[in-house]
Each structure stands twice: as structure tokens, then as C-alpha cells.
Amino acid sequence: MGAGHGGVLGAAYVVGSSPVHRLEPHLKLVAVLGFALVVVATPVAAPWAWGAYAAYLALVLGVAALAGVGHRRLARGLVVEVPFVAFALLLPVVSQGPRVDVAGLSLSVSGLTAAGGLLAKATLSVLAATVLAATTEPRALLRGLERLRLPSPLVQILMFMFRYADVVGGELRRMRVARESRGFRGRHLGALKVLGPAAGSLFIRSYERGERVHLAMLSRGYGGRMPAGPAVAAPAQAWLAALALPLAAAAVLASGLLLG
């Protein structure tokens, strides 16, 4: 019933068995977070900043190659960045301070630097997250978040989102088919009169489903906490392998700060 093999949200995952795939999900989460922190901590204004960004890029692309995540997959991951790009394009125009003329436009120098830095940082972080999503099944990611002690209600919400994305998506699709089967075409403003109530009814249906799921959970002894499954401690080598990416990035940053 869902879109493709893993459903709506599973679409990001690329089946494989690379060393990156096999790493424990919570280690990968820590690694991506660490990498993003190092990237963000790199000062844009420093003369060596762009050299550091290039080194980070080489690192992520290396990991992507190791994981067998292709360029096309990476490019698709970058789509989430579009709002940042729009914002970054505005910065040089609206920022204050000394200006340069580029193709007849007067642009702010500090705005240009800030926009460049923003884009570079966003791109690097999104690339790392894309590799994570492509090598980790959504439910493994959830288990990882749980092991990192993310508050249990948050993990449960994410878990239900993942489980029911397909079900709610299917409901949405059936409602649309039912509308269009009776000649409805959502092309003009008047359509809002129909689509508004439709959204409302989808909400009610989802809410009622939530109540029924809750009943089913209570019936099996649910008392407010998700019972935890088995957890095996990750060996030191696994930690080392996972942290290789953020540690290498941190080394680049440190050498920039010390020598640059």
C-alpha cells in the first residue's frame, strides 16, 4: 500500500551491507551530530575556512563512497536544503556594511561571506545526514535515538509517525480517489471549500485511530512506558570506527585554529 519498498518514510534507505550499514545506529547518530558540530564551529571569516570546508567535504564523500551511496542519492538528499539556499541568496542583498558590485548589483561583503558559510555548512551537514539516512533503516534510527536516551515520548511519537505514515497516506489517497470519482477537480479557489473539511476529516480519522491504537496498547498491559528490548553494549572498535569521521573533522578544525 505504501510508496515503494519501505513506505513513505522508508524511501531514504538504500539496502546494503557496507561497514557503514553495519555500524550500530546510535553510534552513527553520535558521529553525524559530532561532525555537524565541528562544521558549525568552523569560523567562516578565518582565512583557512574554505580549505577546512574542502577537507570536510572530502571526508563525507569518502564515507559515502565506503557506504556505496551514489552521487544521485546524495544530490536528492540536498533537496531539503532548498529553503536555506533561498535565505542565503537574500543575505548579500539585505546585509549592511561595505559593498562590492557584482554584475551591476551592489552586494554586501559580509553578507556574501555569511551566505557562503551558511551554504557550505548546511550542505556538509545535510550530506552527512543523507549518508546516515541511506545506511540506516528508520526503525534502527529510532532504536538509536532511544539508546541515546532521547525522552521516551519523543521516540514513541517518531515511531508512530513511521508506523502510520503509510496508513494515513493510504487514507488520504482513498479520500482523494473518492472525491475525484465523483467529479471533483481541485483546480480553482472554490476547491478550498471542499479540501478544508477533507483535511478536518482526515484529522478526526487519525485521532480516532490514535484512540483505538491506545486501547489496543492498554489491552496488552501498556503502562505509559515502551518496554525496552535487548541492548548490547557497542564494542570499543565500533565506537572508534563511528567516531573516525567527526574526529578527523575535528583534527582539521584544530589544525586550522592552531596553525592558520
Partner 1 sequence: MTAPPSLLVEDLAFAYPDGHQALFGVDLRIERGERVALLGPNGAGKTTLVLHLNGILRGGRGQVTVAGLPVGRDHLQEIRRRVGIVFQDPDDQLFMPTVGEDVAFGPRNLGLPEEEVAARVAEALDQVGMAGVADRPPHHLSFGQRRRVAVATVLSMHPEILVLDEPSSNLDPAGRRELAEVLESLPVTVLMVTHDLPYALQLCPRSVVLDGGVVVADGPTRRLLADADLLARHRLELPYGFAPDRV
Q: Which residues bind partner 1 (CB under 8 A)?
A: 1-2, 6-7, 10, 138-139, 142, 159-160, 162-164, 166-167, 209, 212-213, 215-223, 227-230
Q: How far is the CB of 154 from partner 1 (least distance, A)?
A: 15
Grid coordinates standing for 92?
548579500
Judged by beta carbon, residue 183 or residue 230, the one nearer partner 1 is: 230
Q: How far is the CB of 162 from partner 1 (least distance, A)?
A: 6
Q: How far is the CB of 213 from partner 1 (least distance, A)?
A: 5
Judged by beta carbon, residue 4 or residue 190, the one nearer partner 1 is: 4
CA quadruple 20, 26, 31, 34: dihedral, nearest 10: 170
DSSP assignment string, 153-222: HHHHHHHHHHHHHHHHHHHHHHHHHHHHHTT--TTSGGGHHHHHHHHHHHHHHHHHHHHHHHHHHHHTT-
Q: How far is the CB of 248 from partner 1 (least distance, A)?
A: 33
Question: What letters, b where the CB count within 10 A reaches 16 and e where it falls short, cover 108-133?
Answer: bebbbbbbbbbbbbbbbbbbbbbbbb
Judged by beta carbon, residue 99 or residue 139, the one nearer partner 1 is: 139
